[in-house]
Structure 1
């Protein structure tokens, strides 16, 4: 016999007006969280469940990343049956930090993968007589 399922508590949401700039910058500085924000920006509201993101972290770490995004006022979540759906709070966040999300959502500049394909060989030292 399985134990009855308990209902999980709804997540707490912090309005972006109550978020310090440092918390917003810190939330966007992590590569996994930035990936989550970028994917949410390209999705319709409430379309993406937490488990639908292809990220290189486990469930516990993913939950922590979403909690950080909620605490920064970037993400709103709601439960829909067994899934927790997400929405990027773009308008609210933009009102608090104009332009910050636009900068974060820009594609990363491509680093030059091979800056010097044919480097000059180092001259060999002269043998001592």
Structure 2
């Protein structure tokens, strides 16, 4: 199996219908993940690559955050060559948890 095939196989997307409220809340509890979601909410689908987010964490930790968002049904990713593009699954998540995502997206980012 090629590296590209292994990488594509690693993209497992969970349907929000299969996500518990606790799992959704756990994913949304982290400020880095909320920042990713707010950024994606302002971008067209599949135009933002993982490496273009300004995150205060290492590349490995950022990958973990993207995986958590994918696992709870908030994020869809597709590979395009060596780039991984992202889409916020707003409609699907809103159908499962009405009103939850707008609360998160409308939250003011903390200032330091």
Q: Given the two structures, how large is their TM-score scaled by the length of structure 2?
A: 0.90
Count of matched residue pairs: 108
In structure 2, the gaps of 5 or more residues are: none
1:57 aligns with 2:57: yes
Give the C-alpha shift of residue 110 in structure 1: 7.3
Q: How does 1:93-104 map to 2 (within 5 A)?
A: 93-104=93-104
Provide the rounded CA distance (Å) in 2 between the counterparts of 1:109 and 1:71: 24
Give the C-alpha shift of residue 109 in structure 1: 7.9
1:119 match: none
In structure 1, the gaps of 5 or more residues are: 114-129
Larger radius of gyration: 1
> Over aligned residues, Cα RMSD in angstroms?
1.8
User: Bigger relative contact order, structure 1 or 2, given CA contacts below 8 A and separation 6+?
Assistant: 2
Provide the rounded CA distance (Å) in 2 between the counterparts of 1:110 and 1:52: 21
1:78 aligns with 2:75: no
Q: Given the two structures, how large is their TM-score scaled by the length of structure 1?
A: 0.79
Partner SS, residue 78 of structure 2: strand
Q: Which has the higher helix share?
A: 2
Partner SS, residue 9 of structure 1: helix
Partner SS, residue 3 of structure 2: coil
